Structures are given as C-alpha cells and as structure tokens.
Structure 1
Amino acid sequence: MSYFCVDKNHRSSGVGKLLEEYCEKASITRNCDRIEVHCHSRREKAHAFYYRQEYVESAKYLIKLLK
C-alpha cells in the first residue's frame, strides 16, 4: 500500500487505527522490518496519530521541487 487517508468527516472514530493495524499485520506477514511514513510537518494532527501508534521520528526527507 502506498497511501491512505481518512476522510475528515470520519477522523477520531477509530478508522485510521484499524487501517494502520491492518497494514502492520500485512507488513509482518510479508516479512517487512518496518513501516515508513512521510508526513508533512504542517500535519500536526497526523503526527499525533502516528505517535499514538508508537511511530518514532527518523531521518528527514530531502526534496527538490521541479519547475
């Protein structure tokens, strides 16, 4: 899975937690050793969600915007 997002009208209802748990189980089944999440710094509520799911900060991404 590449991306998922919970519609703003359904946030804080447990949907994101269920999706994240499914992704974790699927990843373990596939012998993955981690889940990496790219979440823009302005998405503070999303960061809070990931911290509650026991994610920790790691190296930062570097990007180059093309014209």
Structure 2
Amino acid sequence: MRIDLDQDRCVASGQCVLAAPDAFDQREEDGIAVLLVEEPPAGAEEDVRQAATVCPALAIRLAE
C-alpha cells in the first residue's frame, strides 16, 4: 500500500493522526497533516485505511 496526502486539501482536523499515528503527524504552526511514511509499517495498514475513511477533506488517497 502507498499513501498519498494532499496537504492543500487538508483542513487540520487531526483525525488521521488519531487513527494512524505511525503514518501521520501535524505541523505545529498550522495543524496541517504531514506524512511520516509513504508505506505504512507492518500491521498499520488497517489504521491507515481508517485514517483515509475519517478524513473530512478526503485528502488521503491509498494505492494498493
């Protein structure tokens, strides 16, 4: 799985960080999500899928 994060669409809700903290973080200055890894660590795939599902801005896309 490959993760694509569109920071221009991000609304800084932080839902991705709560769902998949191994893959996402937020910038301190504005809360915009940042991608920590392009491929989720072993065992974190379901968390990343959940992050994509709960993102209110649909800023996370996954390629299997």
**TM-score if structure 1 supplies the norm length?**
0.28
Kindly indicate which of the two structures has a greater share of residues assigned to helix.
1
Larger Rg: 1
Kindly indicate which of the two structures has a greater share of residues assigned to strand.
2
Query: Which has the bigger relative contact order, CA under 8 A and spacing at least 6?
Result: 2
